[in-house]
């Protein structure tokens, strides 16, 4: 899953980079509101962490612009401001959640997982497709209760497909959501990752829909 962090504090950016990368996110960063607005307006993100006190354009204005432009990605406001009136302004601008600094990394990750889960229409924390189960918190996948070992990109790919089970996901969409902005995106690697996943979770769980993309399905009972 791909996350945008709009934060001007370099120390906090480094902390968030480490935390989010270890949690399996592909992360892009913006240092001010102008850059943050541009990235959020031109790149597809599964979730956004947005500071309020930003240079050039404040966070509330950035969020209002995104929403007025039809951007619907979940947004978590992260700020040192804790007055109730500022929280109300953030929610009225289109925020989905709010976390006050200082914060615990586990709480931030839990809130982001909940936002991504709700945006995809999932009610439970774990993702399940037949006997395939993925725990986003533990970054652990099992088939029929047996753990399977996945690389970070395989995990991102499987997570995205499981969030969108049954839908044909174009290759271009997968590329946009499992790589960060600076990654050298080679579309052929998606086929490699799909092949590796099939060997690990079962050949009949991911359909190739020629000319359209890939589709995660429950295997037919034997």
Whether residue 200 has pLDDT greater than 90: yes
Cα atoms in the Cβ-side hemisphere of radius 13 Å centred on 17: 11
> Which residue range is the domain that position 101 belongs to?
2-119
Domain membership of residue 9 (yes or no) is yes
To the nearest whole percent, how much of the chain has pLDDT over 90?
Answer: 76
**What is residue 66's predicted lDDT score, i.e. its pLDDT?**
97
pLDDT tens, residue by residue, 117-138: 999 888 888 999 999 999 999 9
Examine the domain organization and report whether 156 and 95 are in the same domain: no
CATH, residue 207: 1.10.10.10
Which CATH number is 68's domain given? 3.40.50.2300
Q: pLDDT band at 219, cuts 50/70/90? A: confident
DSSP 85-143: HHHHHHHHHT-SEEEESS--HHHHHHHHHHHHHHHTT--SSSEEETTEEEETTTTEEEE
Higher-pLDDT residue of 123 and 181 is 123
Q: Are residues 131 and 106 in the same domain?
A: no
Q: Same domain, yes or no, for 10 and 114?
A: yes
> Which residues, other chains included, contact 32 with Cβ-Cβ below 8 Å and sequence gap of 6+?
6, 8, 54, 55, 56, 57
Q: Say whether both 26 and 52 belong to one domain.
A: yes
Kindly calculate the radius of gyration of the chain based on its CA atoms and give it in whole angstroms: 18
**DSSP letter, residue 52:** S
Question: What pLDDT, in 10s, does the model give residues 157-178?
Answer: 999 999 999 999 999 999 989 8
Q: How far is residue 156's CA from residue 175's CA, in Å, rounded to a whole number? A: 11
Write down which residue in 83, 100, 119 finishes a domain. Answer: 119
Does residue 139 come out as left (phi exceeding 0), alpha (psi in the -120 to 50 range) or beta? Answer: left
- Structural domain includes residue 221: no
pTM: 0.83
- Both 102 and 182 in a single domain? no
Same domain, 114 and 53: yes
Q: Which residue has the tokens 């050298």?
A: 184
Of the candidates 119, 139, 166, which is a domain's last residue? 119
Cα(118)–Cα(125) distance, rounded to whole angstroms? 10
Q: Is residue 84 part of a domain?
A: yes
Is 204 a member of any domain?
A: yes
Mean pLDDT of 97-118: 94
Count of domains observed in the chain: 2
Instruction: Give me the residues paired with residue 7 across strands.
Output: none
Q: Are residues 96 and 147 in the same domain?
A: no
Question: Are 107 and 150 within one domain?
Answer: no
């Amino acid at each position: 899953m791909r996350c945008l962090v709009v934060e001007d504090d370099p120390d906090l950016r480094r902390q968030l980079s480490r935390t989010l990368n270890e949690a399996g996110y592909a992360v892009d960063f913006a240092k001010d509101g102008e850059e943050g607005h541009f990235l959020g307006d031109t790149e597809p993100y599964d979730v956004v962490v947005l500071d309020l006190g930003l240079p050039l354009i404040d966070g509330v204005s950035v969020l209002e612009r995104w929403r007025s432009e039809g951007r619907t990605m979940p947004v978590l406001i992260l700020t040192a401001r804790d007055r109730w009136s500022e929280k109300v302004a953030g929610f009225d601008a289109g925020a989905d959640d709010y976390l006050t600094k200082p914060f615990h990394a586990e709480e931030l990750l839990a809130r982001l997982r909940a936002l991504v889960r709700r945006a995809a229409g999932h009610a439970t924390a774990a993702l399940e497709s037949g006997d395939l189960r993925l725990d986003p918190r533990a970054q652990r996948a099992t088939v029929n209760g047996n753990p399977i070992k996945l690389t970070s990109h395989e995990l991102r790919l499987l997570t995205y497909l499981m969030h969108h089970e049954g839908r044909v996901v174009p290759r271009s969409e997968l590329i946009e959501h499992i790589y960060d902005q600076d990654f050298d995106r080679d579309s052929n690697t998606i086929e490699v990752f799909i092949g590796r996943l099939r060997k690990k979770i079962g050949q009949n769980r991911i359909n190739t829909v020629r000319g359209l993309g890939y589709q995660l399905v429950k295997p037919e009972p034997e």
